[in-house]
Structure 1
Amino acid sequence: MAAIYAMGDLQGCCTPFNSLLEKLDFNVKEDRLWLAGDLLNRGPDSRSLLKRLFQWQDHLQIVLGNHDLYALSRWGGIVPTKKSDTLGNLLGDKNAGDWLDWLRQMPLLHHDSDLGWTMVHAAIHPDWDIATATAHAQEVQNALSGRQWKRFLKMLWAAPAPNRWADCRDEDDAQRFRVAVFTRARYVTAEGQFNWPSTLPKEGASAYAPWHTWFFERQNEGAIICGHWATQGLLVHERLLALDSGCVWGRQLSAARIDLETPEIHQIDCPIYAQPSTKE
């Protein structure tokens, strides 16, 4: 029987990716694979990974993460190289344009009504039901896949995202906020104020909780697959599969079979690729 698997952040770790697929006995002609973003960067071989995914595109469902948006921005000449950047082998390939042009068409949210799962890279705003979140993600996808995509990415990097939806002054602010929620969010207050950095502020930290705590309290429907939060690690709840288990940091790469009534979790151990000083 054909299977559907969801997998956490790959971040250019092509060898562990291949090893986990082998462990799953993954059949690309029959099975399907969902990838929860951050496909590229920090690991050693984004080139081979993206080449494989491009070849398999008819059998994949992808959502974009913050590192994928950074890779697209590097390709577009919009941002300088960061110290933790490992994209050189990808960007130097003669086929990189075809692969990355395909990647920028990908959404930030995927919902499957038959399976009951919704996949994002980082988070969904606790005040957004699935229909509302889908509409917000579509606004981003329309801009990123359109002819003015470079202008869109330049705008994202030009100013910080507001911390609350109510603080968005114009459509540029709204787009920055949408992207930050879907690709960067971890902690939020009951009033909907997000903390975009990976660590909480020294003052007022007790007001924040993981985004999914508030989401599941306020939204009665929606089971979420996400990645992004390696320090949180693998979480498996009735309505949550958080699958970033820190492969690039030398921990595990995780996958869940999601077409079963109770998802099956599969993992492999990974070598250390990224330096702790650049974590997450």
Structure 2
Amino acid sequence: MTATYAIGDLQGCSAPFNALLEQMGFTPETDRLWLAGDLINRGPDSRAILTRIHAWRDHVQFVLGNHDLYALARWAGIIPAKKNDTLGAVLSDPRVDEWMDWLRNGPMLITDATLGWTMVHAALHPDWDLAQAQDHAAAVEAALRGRQWRRFIKSLWADPVPNRWQECRNEEEAQRFRVAVFTRARYVTAKGFFSWPSTPPRDAAHEFAPWHQWFLERQTTGAIICGHWATQGLLVRPRLLALDSGCVWGRQLSAARIDGAEPVIYQTPCPMFARPDSG
């Protein structure tokens, strides 16, 4: 019987990934794998991660996370390496162009009406229904796949991101906002103001809530799988699976089988690769 599994942020943690696949009994020839983004960087072996999932690309679906976009920017020579960058082996590999072109053509959002699940790396805007979210994701995907993709990626690092959709003055700002929601968002206010840092400003912290609190309240259809928020940890709630449980920080790598009536959770422990305060 074909199974579909969703896994949280891998971030180059190849050994826990292998252990979790074995625990689940994943068979690449028959089963399907959904990966919640941040496939690479920070962990010790991003090259092994890319080698495996690219070989399984006909059976793997993924969404792009902030670390994957960072890897594309590094590959394109747009930004210098950050302190905790572990992409050296990937960027020096002869297969890097093939891997990065594959990532660049990846989606921001995946949905399966039969399974009843939608996956995004970080968040969805509480005021966007799933059809609107798909349209916003498609706008980003078209830019990443287009002839001016280097210019587009460079623009993501060029200027501050508006904190609210209504504050976007042009398409470039709208694109930065879309990317930030899909790959970076955690907290948002009832009026749609996002806090792009990992914690909201102290003087307004009481106004912010986790994005999924507002989304599940306002959007009455759609079940969401996400990653990105390791400090929040594994959350299993009606219509929500948050699967980033901090593997790269030495906690667990989490997965869920999502083709049944209720998700079945799997976890494996991870060694410590990155400090929780390392951004």
TM over 0.5: yes
Counterpart-to-counterpart distance in 2, 1:268 and 1:166:
42
Report the residue type matching 1:188 in the other structure.
Answer: V
Which residue of the partner structure matches residue 11 of structure 2?
11
TM-score with structure 1 length normalisation? 0.99
Which residue of the partner structure matches residue 151 of structure 1?
151
Which residue of the partner structure matches residue 208 of structure 2?
208
Within a 5 Å distance, the mapping from 1:81-92 to structure 2 comes to 81-92=81-92
Q: Deviations over 1:113-143 (max 9, x none)?
A: 1111000000000000000000000000000
Q: What SS does structure 1 have at the residue aligned with 2:6?
A: strand
* Structure 1 runs (4+) greater than 6 angstroms displaced: none
Counterpart-to-counterpart distance in 1, 2:276 and 2:186:
19
Within a 5 Å distance, the mapping from 1:144-223 to structure 2 comes to 144-223=144-223
Deviation at 1:51, TM superposition (A): 1.2
Which residue of the partner structure matches residue 225 of structure 1?
225
Which residue of the partner structure matches residue 94 of structure 1?
94
Counterpart-to-counterpart distance in 1, 2:109 and 2:276:
29
Report the residue type matching 1:166 in the other structure.
Answer: Q
Counterpart-to-counterpart distance in 2, 1:270 and 1:157:
31
Counterpart-to-counterpart distance in 1, 2:37 and 2:117:
15
Q: How many positions carry a matched residue from both structures?
A: 279
Deviation at 1:70, TM superposition (A): 0.2
Deviation at 1:200, TM superposition (A): 1.5
Counterpart-to-counterpart distance in 2, 1:14 and 1:246:
14
TM-score with structure 2 length normalisation? 0.99
Report the residue type matching 1:154 in the other structure.
Answer: K
Deviation at 1:147, TM superposition (A): 1.5
Structure 1 unaligned residues grouped into runs of 5+: none
Counterpart-to-counterpart distance in 2, 1:214 and 1:26:
34
Q: What SS does structure 2 have at the residue aligned with 1:158?
A: coil
* Structure 1 vs Structure 2 CA RMSD: 0.6
Within a 5 Å distance, the mapping from 1:118-133 to structure 2 comes to 118-133=118-133
Q: What SS does structure 2 have at the residue aligned with 1:205?
A: helix
Counterpart-to-counterpart distance in 2, 1:7 and 1:201:
31
Q: Deviations over 1:75-120 (max 9, x none)?
A: 0000111001000011010111111111110010001111110000
